[in-house]
Amino acid sequence: MVLGFNHNVRYRGELFHVQTEDSGLANPTIITLLYRGGTIIASRKTSYADIVKIENLEQIVEELMKDQHKEMLRHLKNGDFDDRAFPVVVTAPESDVPREPEPELPPRSETVSQATAPRSLDDILLDYLESEGRK
């Protein structure tokens, strides 16, 4: 019995992987998955439960697998999955509303004395908040 088909194919400069598998008689289903970078872009499932008693089942299932695998490749090449494979990222336009200026932090000392213990971030923030409250 055929375990499955795997193909890597380049489309629009990107590598895609098409995988088709038979789940076997316990779950008579053919599954085809289209991946881009490890993410499933599309899938197709076909049950063959209605024909499991046929004499030449193995050959029929192999043909169904080949057809489904080729169909996924055709849909990819026809651009049917472009919206999922190449999503458009929309960024918000820069607003004309002026931003509040960043608060000025006290100047940093470039040298640290060995006698001075390093201050924690909490201490620095508390000092800053206290200095802002005095203004």
Predicted pLDDT at 102? 72
What's the confidence (pLDDT) of residue 1? 62
| 17-45 mean pLDDT | 96
Q: Is the pLDDT of residue 28 over 80?
A: yes
> What average pLDDT score do residues 66-80 get?
97
**What was the pLDDT predicted at 107?**
65
Q: Exposed (0-12), middle (13-18) or buried (19+): which is 61, by Cβ within 10 Å?
A: buried
CA dihedral 25, 31, 37, 38 (to 10 degrees): -40
Residue 105 confidence (pLDDT) = 67
